[in-house]
Structure 1
């Protein structure tokens, strides 16, 4: 009669130990992977568009014009010029470049995420300058660089704090699953020991 409680306590300890080891293993592996991820610094330049001389131009027309300049910003010539200014390859800049027009606005956002915050800002600002020069020749709308990319304000990617929280949550989830599985195995063993 005394053997069953001793076996049950030992089985619980083994289950808890297995859960702890599994959780620590997942947490350790997750933290190592997170620290090995390359850091990228994201900066954004914004070019805003407005009617040049005719205030009766609709907002839809200005938004369409902003989309036209998004194409200018992503053109091969713009990327090549910005890559030379930032001293990076065209391919690296093309992979790091994101161009968008805010919905229902005439704001063109030029975002660049590279491994160096100064390179990111230089490239984003160089593309904004190309768009600004192109818009200077437009008779319908005017473009103005309303926000220049600042290397000091670069956002780091990926967010390591968020990834660490995810790693801790994953470790707890795995530890809970292993603990649950160990309890189920222990319960089945007890039932098989008790059955005649």
Structure 2
């Protein structure tokens, strides 16, 4: 007997909400707002990676549904902060923009990542190439350093977590922690400050 995907998703969401409420050790590293947002992002059901043919196509549909829901949620909360889309027809390369507002100024960055062949067991490595070498919380190539809480939570929720969850749990907290430090230390400048002045 097969179980409808909606039922599986609802059960998974209940388990995730229960873990968040009881203070699961894997959720210690996130603030209440991130936890609340996470429970509202649709969970995925198809366990497939880029080498899985038709199942991967189904997984991509779920990824897009979750990303659209997350984007709409952010817009309705006046917290719109990224745009991404697949850069190839296989859905293995993603590009876009993300931004962070600090002291009423918007700092925008290129965002890119590849889907690992072992996805969804392995999370994508999110890259901000413009910030490469500007912070210790980054690997070569602009790949952001995720918290030690991220990998256990991702592993526990495979295949329910997808790209939207990686952005919520990985990139959003990273931007909130690192961009103010980079701005205040002068490592990055706002585009208006970086442009040469034409006044004499």
**Same fold? TM cut 0.5:** no
Q: Which has the higher helix share?
A: 1
TM-score (norm 1): 0.29
Rg: which structure is higher? Answer: 1
Relative to the length of structure 2, the TM-score reads: 0.28
